[in-house]
Every structure is written in structure tokens, then in C-alpha cells.
Structure 1
């Protein structure tokens, strides 16, 4: 056999050259990074420039590779290959090549062949469809079809393939439509022959795509770019999809309302899939609607929005997916639309859907509704004038009066806070109308709506109150006065004989009280502004007075007798004089008096029985402070004392408004407070924090029976209070008292235990009395109980006797419960009152720390910090002391006039106070107070230091020898430190 049978020869492999660089370029074209794809496309196209003279085979292979790449399923491949293909086609077919035989027809054949639907799986088929779509886009973008040498049939062929794809594959219809839509603009820019456009429209209609969202967009673009072109007949009324007579058809088309739309003899399928992004046709339509509703022929934006969006996408029968599109449109117009367009999007169905979706977090479109709500707020924040349209849309006829309550949001509150003056001039009157007609006939619902409206008005006041602090800010005074005017109208004049202006339904007393509270809250916010603090309260009371006279709004809520009217009339005369003086040159005292007068008159209008006497006292103060300049000093001091009493009466009320007002007025007159006025403040600090203290302070007189019961039940408590609050004359014997009340932290626990024991004793006593009245015993005593005839029938007399006994037992129980409640309320009132007084004293200390009179505060504050069982009170007392001693530095130390004896007595009293056992803060406070008095004495005469040393020595002696002296070591440490720092000054 031949050798070849035993040793077969290897087949020789033909040489094959692989262009590694080209492989890398194709790989990079599919990269997800833009810069890599662009660099690869540039590298590929550069190989086909005329100077490189590429071969025809190379050109065809590259085109084939690029068209095939468009069919890839890789994420970014279509983008990269499309860019390269567009540039490649431009490079090859727009530049003359004498020796090249590659024609555009070859490229179109390659495109068709490579994108032919030859895939086996559904995914492969989708990839080929996308390849054909991207290939068509590249061909159109390259503009090779518009070359003069290119037959017009090529354009027709490409259009046909695109529309055929759109017709057969509805899920690609939007992308196909977008390519044609952009191509219409390219035709206009390149100034191509109108036949290109006319052929496009004919092909569009021949494929039954004219009445689709894509067809509408293409048609509208053609109308704009080629108004003189010949449009296919009988498609749209007046050849315009936005013709007013086409609104119904347009609505159906834009929302794709049916599974199949009749298009002549054929039926055109809708996309069948839902896209979470808005169709580009919406932009095309919205941008071409007219601004004015008076425009004839074409739909206005308002009509379009109502018909197509509100009655279409937001119809009650619409799916959640269409409503989702509706919210996308709503946000789009709010973010990008003109003011006129944005103002017209608050339509009935939309606002109802927005309200419902916002109200419940589990709703399918809740997140979209939240985005819509934020879009409204963002528009208002960027464009404050839009607030009027937003509030009107959300709360007007299309919305809900109580929008924020219904949606559990603060949308309206935030909108009105950002509104500018012009917007508020529209919003505030609308709120006034809503108070009259709150959109509900049910009284409870109406009351709730009115409460929300009043709260919205208050939100405006709070948001704009700070604008009075800066003259450069926008002036909101007129708007704020209008708000208060509306509240006054309904708070003080709820009923009127005029049926056209009468509130429907009528305002309840609770609603009237709520509105008066809103007035107080508004004024409280405005007190922080120097510009509004006095002006707006005066405007409020003046409006009430004028309305009472004119009876424009009906009868006033209270009957004012002649005496009351005379007092108010006199007060307004003084207010008028104050306003005149204010215009000449405003001072803090004038503004303070004006504010105080206004608030007192307001209290008269609120029916406060004490306000009338306060007006008379205020008139006395005004005559002394603002009267003739040669008024005697003692007359002014009397007026100052009376003014302090008036401010205390306001401060005693549980209202932040009156607290802030009293502080503001007190700050203006703090430097004129006399010794008697300061004593009035101090007496409150020394009052007991109990019912007895409240009765003593406010001079309450109870019935004899009540007094006896209180004295019997509170005997132990009063004794304890007497120990806690000794009189000033008994300070020397305080040491024994304090020893019985050490460890203030445990006092509260002991009091709670005592209260629990008292409650248990009261319950046991009640049960015993109840059992005695019924002739029974408690269930836990049944074990040892003997049989009795208690279950026997009783006659009428016996039943009456039992009823009388039961009534007596329950009456006693109610009285005991009422007394406990009175005790609790009295304690809270006294704590509140002391807090208010400490606020006033803090103001006094800041303004008058250099006055010798201020030293009178040291001892009362020290006692309060030790005795009070309320930590807030003791802490605030220490803070006032700390602030006082901090301010008294250098030359700011009070100066002694002549006699230093009272100051020496004060120093000894402070040292006795330091001997008491108290909380750590009390020890620190006594040391600071002692050193302050030392500074005052030494500043008066350096020789006084010897006596100061003797006082400290005596205190040290008591500390060492007496078990009743509880002076803390820090007391002497602070003294030693002061001696070291002051020794040089004392020797000079």
C-alpha cells in the first residue's frame, strides 16, 4: 500500500487576516459610555474619507456590518451603530467618488436584507424590527435621500417601509411616528420640494395612520412648516386636527380609548402596551392650542384640557393608566406651561382624582398625586403670583373647601405662605366668600370647613407677619388688615337681616368663638413685628367700632350700655391722639400705649367684665404719661403703679397673646417702674402655688360652706404651705422650717404619694358611706357576713329614705371631686402667673440692672428658687438672677445714693438665705447674689470691705458651730476667688 494510507497528510489552512483594530471599533460602538461610542464611530468613518479611497467591497462589508449591528440586542449597540451608520452614509453618498460603483440602492438592499424578519424567537424578531427602525432613522438623518441624483422613488420606498412597520407592529408606532415627525422639520430646514411632504401625508393616510396620536403630531407639524401644501381631503375639518369640531375625535385619539379604531374598511390596532412616559404627540398638541378662548376655529388650551384631559383621561370610567398619563400632563404644564395654561389645569375631574389619591396612601396613584401636589407648590414658590390660581383651583368650584383636611396634607397652607401680595388680594376675598358659603348645608360640616378657612387665613398672617420687620420687604399691611376684617365680620357680627350676605348656614356660637381665637392668634403673631404690632390691633378695634355704629353687618354680639359706650368712646379719643403723635415721631412708649389701649378695648368687645375698669385706669395712666410735660414725679409714679397692675391683669390670663403684649408694653415702661410697682410683681412670686394662694392673689370670695370645707380638707396642706412660704418678718426663724423640707427632689414624690393616699382614702370613705346608705357591705366582706334580711322588700318610706341618703352621698362626692379639680386648676394658674411675672422681671433686669431698686429682686428670687416645688419656676428664677449678675459688671453696678444701711441688711439676709438647705442651683445663686451686693457696697466705698469680711466671717462661724446652717463650700470658694481678683483694686 502507498505510504499515504499509513501517514495521512494534514490539510493546509488558508491564510486569513483579521483586522484587530476594526474588531475593537465594532466592540466599542456597543459600549454603554458615550465618549467611547463616539470615538469608535469617528475612527470607523475616518477610514472611508475620499483620501483613503476605500474599496467597494470594504464599503459594502462595513454597511452590512453596521446594519446588522442595529439588530443587536445589546443595550447600547443600536445607538452606537446608528451614529456610525448615519455618518458613514453621509460620507459615502454625498461626496462624489469617480471610481466607486456602490450606489444608494445597494445600501437600501442591504438594509432590507439585514433587517428582514428571519428570527426564530420572538425576541429575535423584535431585534430585527428595531434594526429596521434604526436603519430608517439613520438613512433619513444622513439626508442621502434628498440628493438631486437620488430618484424620488427611494424616498417613497423608505416611507412605505416605516409606515408598514408602524401599521403591523403597534408597539413601534410611536417611534416610527417620531422619526417622521422630526423629518418634517428637516424637510422645512433643508427647504425641500413640497412633494416630499405631500407624499408623506399620502403614505400616512394610505396606511390608516392619520387618526392616531402620531398622525396628529405629523399633520400639525406639516401645517406649521408647509402651510401652502396640498393636504389629503376629508381627513380633518378644515384640514386641522385642532379644529373645534374635532374635539371629540381628538379626545378619543389622544387617549387611545378603544382596542381597535375604525379606519375606513380596515381596523387599526392600538399599541396594546402601556408606556409610563408621555407620548410625544401631547407636546405637539399642547404647544399649538391657542391661549384665548375667544379664538375662532382652533381649540383653546382651556377647551382642549377640559375635553381631552379632564373628560377624557380623568373621566370616572378611565383606567388608572390613563389617569397616570393625566397626572404626567398636569405636572408637565405646571412645570413648563405658560401662566395662562397652568391656571386652567385645575378642572373638576382632575382635582377630584387628586384629592382622592392624596387622601389614601394605599391608592395606586398616590405617589403621582404627591408629585402633583409638590409641583403646584414648586410653581408657587418660583412664581408667587400663581398662588391665586392654585388656591382657586383646589378650593373653588372644581375642588374642595377643606382640601388640606380631606387630603391630610398642608398643600393650601404652604401655597398661601408663599403667595405674593397680588395673589393674596385675590385669595383673601375668596376665603371671605367661603366663610359665608362654606360649601355644605350640614351645620357640622360647615363648621369644619369654616374652621379650615380660618386656619388658612391665620397661616397667611403667620407667614407674612415677619415682613413688617424690614422696610425693603413687600408691604402686606393692607392684606393683613383685610384678613382681620373678614375674621371680625363673622366673629362679632354673625347675623344680618340681609339674606344675600347672611352666612348659610348660620354661624354657631362655637364657630364665633373659634374665629375670635383666630383673631387673637393673628394678633399674637403680628406683635413680633414693629410695623404691625400697634397698627393692626388698632385697625381691628376701629373696624368693630365702625361696624357697631353703622350696623352694616347686623347686631353686635354683646349689648353695650351707656357707661360702657362712654368708656370706649373716651378710649378712642386717646387712641386718636396717640396716632397723631405717632405720625409726628414714633416712640416706643407711644406705640406701647396704643397697643395696650387697643387690646383693652378688644377685651371690652369680648365681654370681659374687668376690661371697663382697666380702661378707666389706663386713661389715668395716659393722662400722666402722655399729658402735660410738667407733670409731677409722684403723679407719674402712681400712674406707673397702675400700669403695672393693668399689665399683671393681662399677664394672669392664659393667653400667649396677652403674655406677649404685656411683655412688649412693660419693656417700654420698665425704666419707670416704682418700688410699689416692683412690690406688686414680687408679691406674686411669694404667693402660694395653691388654691389658697390664688384666692389671696385674686381676692376670690367663696361661699361660707365652701370656705369651711376647703379649710377643713386643706388644713394640712395649708400648714405645709405656711412653712414653705413664711412671711418676710419671720425670716430669722426660717432655719428650723427649712430643716424639715430638705431634698426638694423628694418633695414631689412625697406629694404624689400623699395625693395617692388621699385619693385612696376618699374612695374608701365614699364606698363606706355608700354601703351605709344602702345597708350593705363590700363584696370582700361576704365571707364573714351573717345572713340578714337586707334583701327583703322595702316599703315606699324606706325607699325614699334610701334615695335621700344616696343623693346626699353622691352630692358630697361631687363636691369633693370639684374641690380636687379646683385645687389642680388653681395650682396651674399660679404656676402660669409666676412664669409670666418672671418673664416681666427678666425684661426689667435687662433694662434696669443699673438701678438700685433692682436689688430688691435678689431675696425674693432666691426664696422662690428654693421653695417652689415646680422645677420650671425655680429654674427660671435662677436664670433671672444669673442674667442680672451677668449684666452688673464694671460701671453697670447699681450706685448707692446716700444711705447704705438697706444694702447691708440685704447682704445679711442673703447670707441667712444661703444657710438654708436647697437645691445645688440655689447655692450658686446665693453666692452670685452675695457677691453682687458686695460689689455695690465696695463701689460705694472701698472701706466697706471690712464690714463685708465680718459678714462672711460670721457666716463661716455659723457653718462651723451650728447644725442648722447649711451653707455650701462653694459659697466661700467664690468669695475667695473674688478676693483674689479684687485685691489689687482695693489697695489702689
Structure 2
């Protein structure tokens, strides 16, 4: 029986594996750059001339490297390509006489290793195509084809393989073109013969790839780097893709249009790549960088080298091409990429011309709706504009013209629901504003629509933009480098004045607004003047100069009627007061120029704001001007008329008139003026401020302050419901109809919970009373009449009907009067809260500037009472804050110094201790303790022997706490006193 040879194992032949080389190839495919580079260096070091590598070693290594380029691992292509390029450079850098391995062998290995037989899977075929592409790039970069000893046919062979790949696989055409595009520059840097680039362009033509983005880029590069190269004729008009006559063709090519071209030497456009790429084609850079910054219209007609200007290129290729209404979202996406590219990298002249009509329309539409396909790209474009302006403030003018001019929309921010324009103008520099402001002025005159409602909306938007410029520049008003901005700010306010106070329908079409400004728009513009001045008052540099410039502009324009008739009626008496005020303003300006500063700026501001009130139609402004003139003569007049005491009292009253208005502008103005004259406030002036704090936060309080002649019954009811400890606000009355009216009449003050709950529904008792009166008025004809009554079907005659109507009218009139009274109460309460807030602001300024004056001690008790009594937490907290600030400032040498008569201070200390006995919020007790200790320091600072009297007062308060049920002094009151005694005892004993 024959032996069974299948059971025997065949002996393996010994095989040596170079593990180090395996590791190198493995590292070439690493995802980490440093590992790949280290592996490439290790491999290349084996092929240096001194190592004299054998042909077999070279062949095996090249086969392995070309095969590695076909790997599906993306990092492998990078690492193997680097190693391949360097090894080819090393091998053929010197003459190898004994070697038979040449360039042709390299190309054979490349072709064979990257060849796809067609039996592979789709992914494997793609890997082989990429391998061929990367191999071509490595061969070209190594420059082995461009040595004089290398046959020119080898270069042609490489070109054929590249173009065959580009033609066979259009999705690789861009990469193939990029390799040749970079090759042109490398050859130019080497000083190579033009025949290489000529062959490349002729191959482009042979494969019908001249009229494609890659062909355009390569052609332009060759024309620039090899101007004397011989290129195919009739491929382009005048042999230039950027010839103006080629712009239509260029537009189709750059957006990869597949439609044929009847011209161009019979050559059709190549097949589209069929694959959309989210990145811009490199050909865009090649084209844009070679367009002329100068328009063809400005060039000499005799110029032979006329090229398509950037503006014409942008309009034809980008705006009418990529952003055409029929373009796909993908092409518009490319358009936004180009837009951002020019914004980030383009010259100022280029960036100024990219706000074309179709692009801005697309940008507006895409920004307006979040769920649109290109919304995120539009947002990036908007941010790119803002970034360019932030980096280059002078670009703001071009951006505003582009977005709001002929190609854009006047209401761009409104249409897109963004603040793009607002942010742009805020960053604009002085030069840009000199262009932007006249544009806004023209848009106010002609807002781009004949519809009155739309025109008003656009004008309001423009006014808000001008106001935003004022606000942004007001914050930089104290910088020496921004002195030019005052002229800009005055220019803006002059525009407001022109359109806000005059009827500009002069009959001159060149200057008359179209359509005519509505009364509402003019009121809005006047309010914008107030808002602008409010922002400028924050800057001491512009506080007096610009308000004066505004009223002077109004006066001069009213006299000359340059802008039409002045719309505010001013009678002769008021006109005379205004005239006197301007005389005083002129004197103040003269004093200011001479260097006098004490109170000059404050008076100038106060005069200007009062005159502005006159121009706004304020009926109280006449008396205010007269009082102001009195103050001026007493403060700044000659020695005979000066009387600071009377002037100070009158000035406080004027400032209170401004502070009572619910306007931040007048609040800020009154604070600035008060701060200038706070040290001259008298006892009477301070009492005027205190009286407001002690007034009720109600209709009765408002009547008391403003001397309103209202129904006495309302005041009686208010006073009946008020006691010494707290104000009780009547909130039982309510009406659902009134609630609708009051919905938009919100105040910045806190409302009590009782009032809020009272607004939720109508009082049942009140409703029942109304229904009873209604039933009484209807009599037998009421809704609840018995239907079985004998006279149920009887009809009323005319007299009976009239009588019922009269009774019903009386019932509803009474109901409306009650609702009106309730609304008056609520409005009065809000007015008083606002007024008290403003007064507390002034008192805060007073204590900061005058805390060392004995007069300031008069504030202690009113502030304590307000902390306890006020039903508005905001007011109570603010009063406590002022008091805390006062006591904090009064330390050491800053303590008030008493005169010989100190009895009023003793009385004040006793009154504060009595105030501390009332129950109140936690802050009230703390404030009483702080106020008491402040007086103790003042008394002891005057005479240390008086400490015994202080101890007696505290002892009396302790007795009341122990014995009286009405005394609610908190324990912390005495704790603070004990702590002070401990700290002060050592000092008192040491000074005895």
C-alpha cells in the first residue's frame, strides 16, 4: 500500500522579513504628522547617493510606494507621497552610470500599480484613481521630468495620463488641474523651457479642457509666467479668457454650465464634473487675482491690454451668474463663499464693489428666515461685513451704501431682523461717517417708496441709525483724538432739526421730501433729538456745546426759513423771552471762551434745554425762562445784583420742574446742573427737595405738589385712609375697560401686590352696585322683568323712552367718571414715584458733594421716614441707599462741624430715636442706627463732654423699649451703640 503523502507537512523555506522596513511603511500611513515625517525621513535616508542603492531595491521600494498611494487610508496617500517625491529626487539627483533604471521605468511602475482593471469594487477603483493622481503629483514635484537628459516624450506621457484621468473621471478634474497649475509656477521658478507649459496647454486643448475652470486657471498662469509661450490660437478672443468679449463665456464656465458655446474655435465646453463641492474652485483665485481694479470705462481706448475689470467680472460672472434668480442654492452658496473671500482678503476697492443687486437681494431674503437653506451662509456673510468694518472702519461707508443704496434695501435691518447696519455705523470712523450721514439725509428726504406708511417706517429706521451713531460716538467724546466727531454729531442733530421743526414742502423738487413728512414722523424726530442729547450729556466735552448748537440752529433756520416754515407757534411774549435767553447764552459763550468755568457750562446747558422746551411747545417754559434769567443775574450778574441764596432757591425750583418730567434727558440734565451748584443750595432749596419726599405717593400728593385744582372729595378720601406709619393706596375700584387703556402705561417703578391683584378683575360689590343702578334706571323694563306680567308686552312711548335714556346715560356717566378717577389715581401714583426717584438722585449728588455741611443733617429724618413709609420698595431702598452713602462719607475730618448753637442737633437725635421706635422694614432699623451714630460722632466731635447727654438719650430709648408697647426699637439698635462705645471709650479716656 502506497504511503499517504497528504499527511506530511512540507518544510517552509527560510524567509527574512525586514521588520524595520515594515514599521516604516506602517508609520507612513499614520494619522500623526510627526510620525509620518519621521518615517519618510528614515526611508529616504536609505537612498542617498552615498548609499548607492541597487536597482532592485529601488524598484521594490517604488512599487511599494506607488501601491501605498492606492491605499484607502487617507493619511497613507500623504505620507507615501512625501516619501516618494523625496526618493525620486534623491535617486535621479546624480548620474548613476552603472544603473539601467530610468525615468521610463518609474512611469511604468506608476502606471501599472495605479491601473484599474475594472474587476475591482467601486471603492477600490476610486482608490486606484487617487493613487494615479498622487503619483503624478509626486513625479512632477520631484522635477525628474524636467532634466535636459530626460526625453520630452516622458513629459507628454505624464500629461496624457493626467488628462485621461481628468476626462474619464470629471470629479477628479479639479485636482488634476491643480497639479498642472502649481507646476506652471514651479517651472517658472526653475527657469524651465516654455516647451513644457506649451505642451500642457496644447494637451488641454486636445482633450477639450481649455474652456473649463481648470483650463482657464492654467491658461492664465502660463500667460503670466511665460508671456512668450506659443499657445493654441482661437481658443480665446485675443488669446485671453479675461477679454471683455469673453465675459459671457467666462460666466458659464465658472459656474460649470454644461450648455455649449457657439464660439471659441468650434470647441465645446467639457462635461460638467457632476459633483458639487462645498469649497471654492481654485480657478476663482486665479481669475479674481488677474482682473483689473480699474473699470474699462476709465481706461484709455487705445489700450491693447484691456482686461475685464473686477466690477464687470463680479456683475457678469457672480451677480448675474451665481446669484441669478434661476441659479441653484448650491451656486448661490459658492457666491456667498466668494463674497466672504473678498471681504476677508480683497482690496478695499474690490470689497466696495461686491454689494451687487442680486447678491444683496439674496442676502436679505436668506437672513430674514431662519429655516432657509442658505440662512447660515447669509449670517456668516453678515458677520464678515461687520468684521471687515471692525478691522477697517473706513469700509463702513461702502458697506452701508451697498446694503442700503441702489442695490440694497433702505430698511435692511428691519427686513432681515438683524442689527447689521446699526453695528456697522457704530464702528465707522470719521471719514466713513462723512459719506454715510449725507446718504442717510437723502434717505430721510426720499425713503425709497411713495407709500406714506412705508416711508414713515423707513424714516424712523434711518432716524434710529443716526441716533445709534450719536450714542456710539458719545462714549468716545472724551478722547483727544476724537475732536472731529463733534462736527459729525452737530451734523446729525442739524439733520434732525431740519426735518423735525420745519415744513419742507418748499416747492423745490430737489430739496422737498417725497412723500411729505407726517406729523408723527416729525414728533419721532424731535424725540430722537432728546435721545441724542441724553447720550451726549454723559460726555462732559459735549454737554453744553452741542445743545446750544441745536437751539441756535433752530432759531437761525426759523428766521431764514431756509428749510420752510417753522411748525411750532411762539407768541410775541414767549419770543421776547427766547430772545433774552439767547442774549444770555451769547454772554455765557463769551465767558467760556475767556476761560471762566465756574457754573458757565451748567447755565449754558440749562438755558439751551429750556429754550428747546419752548421750541417743543412746552407751555411752562415761559416762566422757567424768566426764573432762569433771574438765576443768571443773581449768580453771574454784576456785583450789585448778585445774591446766591435767592438764585439757588430759584434754580432748585427750575431743576425740579425738569426732574418732574418722565424723561431721562431732563433727569441727566438736572443732575449735571445740580452737581455744579450743589454747594450753593440753601436751607430753603433743600426744604423744597425734602417736601417732595414727604408728599404722598397718590393723587392727593400730586395735587399738593403741583397745585392741581381737582375734586376735593378725592383728597379727603385719600387723607382719611392714610395714617402716620404707612400710606394705604385704594385699589378696590377697577374696571375691565380701563385695564385695556392702562395696559401700555407701564412705569419703571414697582407696584404693590395689592394694586396688582386689584387689577385682575372687577370688584363684585362695585359691579353689584352698578347693576342695581342700571336696574333702577330701567324700571319695569329691566332684563329681569317677569315675562308673565300683564304689561310685559306693552311698548314705551317716546317720553318714557327718553326718560329711560337719560337715566341710563347718568348711570354710565357715573361709571365712566369712577373709572377715570381710578386711572387718575394710578397715573398720579406713577408720577409721584418717578418724581421721588429723581429727587433722590439729586440728593445723592448733594450728599456726595456736601456731606461735610451741617445743612446735610436735615436729610436724615426725611430719608428715614421715607424708608419706613413708602409703599414702593424701590423708593424705600433708594432712600436707604442715599442715607447709607451719606453716613459712609462722613468720617474723620469729613464730619460736619457744628456752630455754637447745637440744640437743633439734640432735637434731631431725639427725633431719630423716636423714628426708630416705629415698626418698619429691616433696613429701616439699620438706617436709624446709622443716622443716630452719625449724630453722636458729630456731637462728640464738637465737644467730648457732651457724651453724657448722648448716653441719657439712649437710656431713655431703652426705657421706652422696656416699658412701652408702642416702642418697637430693634435689638440691633443698641448692639451698634454698644459696639461704638467699646471702640470710642479708649479714645475718649486718652483725651481726658
Is the TM value for this pair above 0.5?
yes
- Give the structure 2 partner of residue 270 of structure 1: 272
- Give the structure 1 partner of residue 380 of structure 2: 371
Q: 1:760 offset after TM fit, Å?
A: 3.0
Q: 1:866 offset after TM fit, Å?
A: 1.2
Q: SS of 2:708's equivalent?
A: coil
- Give the structure 2 partner of residue 96 of structure 1: 95
Q: 1:506 offset after TM fit, Å?
A: 1.0
Q: 1:748 offset after TM fit, Å?
A: 5.0
Counterpart-to-counterpart distance in 1, 2:91 and 2:895: 97
8 A Cα contact 1:493 1:555, kept in partner: yes
- Give the structure 1 partner of residue 696 of structure 2: 688
Q: How has the CA–CA distance of structure 1 residues 752 and 788 changed in structure 2, closer, same or farther, with 3 Å as cutoff?
A: farther
- Give the structure 2 partner of residue 677 of structure 1: 685
Q: SS of 1:269's equivalent?
A: coil
Q: How has the CA–CA distance of structure 1 residues 42 and 696 changed in structure 2, closer, same or farther, with 3 Å as cutoff?
A: same
Q: Does 1:763 align with 2:767?
A: yes
Match of 1:568 among 578, 582, 599: 578
Counterpart-to-counterpart distance in 2, 1:631 and 1:427: 50
Counterpart-to-counterpart distance in 2, 1:473 and 1:265: 61
Q: 1:80 offset after TM fit, Å?
A: 1.2
Stretches of structure 1 that go unaligned for 5 or more consecutive residues are 727-745
Counterpart-to-counterpart distance in 1, 2:768 and 2:584: 61
8 A Cα contact 2:257 2:272, kept in partner: no
8 A Cα contact 2:505 2:516, kept in partner: no
Q: Does 1:661 align with 2:669?
A: yes
Could you report, residue by residue, the CA deviation over 1:282-323 in whole angstroms, capped at 9, with x for unpaired residues? 000000011111235201111110110000000000000000
Q: How has the CA–CA distance of structure 1 residues 751 and 380 changed in structure 2, closer, same or farther, with 3 Å as cutoff?
A: closer
Q: 1:723 offset after TM fit, Å?
A: 4.1
Stretches of structure 2 that go unaligned for 5 or more consecutive residues are 728-749
Could you report, residue by residue, the CA deviation over 1:40-70 in whole angstroms, capped at 9, with x for unpaired residues? 1121122122222222122111111111111
- Give the structure 1 partner of residue 658 of structure 2: 650
8 A Cα contact 2:69 2:131, kept in partner: yes
- Give the structure 2 partner of residue 731 of structure 1: none
Q: 1:715 offset after TM fit, Å?
A: 4.2
Q: SS of 2:695's equivalent?
A: coil
Counterpart-to-counterpart distance in 1, 2:255 and 2:352: 23
Could you report, residue by residue, the CA deviation over 1:362-402 in whole angstroms, capped at 9, with x for unpaired residues? 00000000000000000001001101111111111111111
8 A Cα contact 1:601 1:611, kept in partner: yes
Could you report, residue by residue, the CA deviation over 1:756-793 in whole angstroms, capped at 9, with x for unpaired residues? 898333222222222333347998x79x9975644543
Q: Does 1:639 align with 2:647?
A: yes
Q: How has the CA–CA distance of structure 1 residues 331 and 8 changed in structure 2, closer, same or farther, with 3 Å as cutoff?
A: closer
Q: How has the CA–CA distance of structure 1 residues 692 and 790 changed in structure 2, closer, same or farther, with 3 Å as cutoff?
A: farther
8 A Cα contact 2:725 2:868, kept in partner: no
Counterpart-to-counterpart distance in 1, 2:5 and 2:918: 125
Counterpart-to-counterpart distance in 2, 1:806 and 1:564: 47
8 A Cα contact 2:323 2:332, kept in partner: yes
Moved more, 254-263 or 867-876: 254-263
- Give the structure 2 partner of residue 42 of structure 1: 41
Counterpart-to-counterpart distance in 2, 1:110 and 1:398: 58
8 A Cα contact 1:111 1:132, kept in partner: yes
Counterpart-to-counterpart distance in 2, 1:810 and 1:279: 78
Q: SS of 2:566's equivalent?
A: coil
Matches within 5 A, 1:925-940: 925-940=927-942
Q: Using structure 1 for the length normalisation, give the TM-score.
A: 0.94
Counterpart-to-counterpart distance in 2, 1:179 and 1:551: 72
Count of paired positions:
957
Q: 1:265 offset after TM fit, Å?
A: 6.7
Q: SS of 1:60's equivalent?
A: helix
Matches within 5 A, 1:769-780: 769-775=773-779
8 A Cα contact 1:694 1:830, kept in partner: yes
Moved more, 85-94 or 436-445: 85-94
Counterpart-to-counterpart distance in 2, 1:267 and 1:751: 79
Q: 1:278 offset after TM fit, Å?
A: 0.1
Counterpart-to-counterpart distance in 2, 1:938 and 1:7: 122
Moved more, 483-492 or 92-101: 92-101
- Give the structure 1 partner of residue 709 of structure 2: 701
- Give the structure 2 partner of residue 159 of structure 1: 159
- Give the structure 1 partner of residue 538 of structure 2: 528
Q: How has the CA–CA distance of structure 1 residues 152 and 960 changed in structure 2, closer, same or farther, with 3 Å as cutoff?
A: same
Could you report, residue by residue, the CA deviation over 1:174-227 in whole angstroms, capped at 9, with x for unpaired residues? 011111111111221111112222211111111111110000000100110111
Counterpart-to-counterpart distance in 2, 1:430 and 1:279: 37
Could you report, residue by residue, the CA deviation over 1:915-947 in whole angstroms, capped at 9, with x for unpaired residues? 222222111111221222222222222222222
- Give the structure 2 partner of residue 742 of structure 1: none
- Give the structure 1 partner of residue 416 of structure 2: 407
Counterpart-to-counterpart distance in 1, 2:725 and 2:179: 91
Q: Does 1:215 align with 2:215?
A: yes
- Give the structure 1 partner of residue 821 of structure 2: 819
Could you report, residue by residue, the CA deviation over 1:555-598 in whole angstroms, capped at 9, with x for unpaired residues? 11112222222111111111111111112225251111110010
Match of 1:427 among 428, 431, 436: 436
Q: Using structure 2 for the length normalisation, give the TM-score.
A: 0.93
Match of 1:499 among 494, 509, 532: 509
Counterpart-to-counterpart distance in 2, 1:17 and 1:494: 102
Counterpart-to-counterpart distance in 2, 1:853 and 1:332: 68
Q: 1:891 offset after TM fit, Å?
A: 1.8
8 A Cα contact 1:624 1:639, kept in partner: yes
8 A Cα contact 2:211 2:269, kept in partner: no
Q: SS of 1:721's equivalent?
A: coil
Counterpart-to-counterpart distance in 1, 2:231 and 2:752: 93
Q: SS of 1:543's equivalent?
A: helix
- Give the structure 1 partner of residue 746 of structure 2: none
- Give the structure 1 partner of residue 405 of structure 2: 396
Counterpart-to-counterpart distance in 2, 1:752 and 1:454: 37
Q: Does 1:176 align with 2:176?
A: yes
Could you report, residue by residue, the CA deviation over 1:869-923 in whole angstroms, capped at 9, with x for unpaired residues? 1111111111111111111111211122221121121112112212222222111
Q: 1:441 offset after TM fit, Å?
A: 1.0
Q: 1:845 offset after TM fit, Å?
A: 0.8
- Give the structure 2 partner of residue 73 of structure 1: 72
Counterpart-to-counterpart distance in 1, 2:99 and 2:866: 108
Q: SS of 1:76's equivalent?
A: helix
Moved more, 354-363 or 164-173: 164-173
Q: Does 1:279 align with 2:278?
A: no
8 A Cα contact 2:569 2:617, kept in partner: no
Q: How has the CA–CA distance of structure 1 residues 266 and 486 changed in structure 2, closer, same or farther, with 3 Å as cutoff?
A: closer
Counterpart-to-counterpart distance in 2, 1:959 and 1:605: 60
Counterpart-to-counterpart distance in 2, 1:193 and 1:378: 45
8 A Cα contact 1:29 1:77, kept in partner: yes
Counterpart-to-counterpart distance in 2, 1:269 and 1:753: 75
Q: How has the CA–CA distance of structure 1 residues 466 and 978 changed in structure 2, closer, same or farther, with 3 Å as cutoff?
A: same
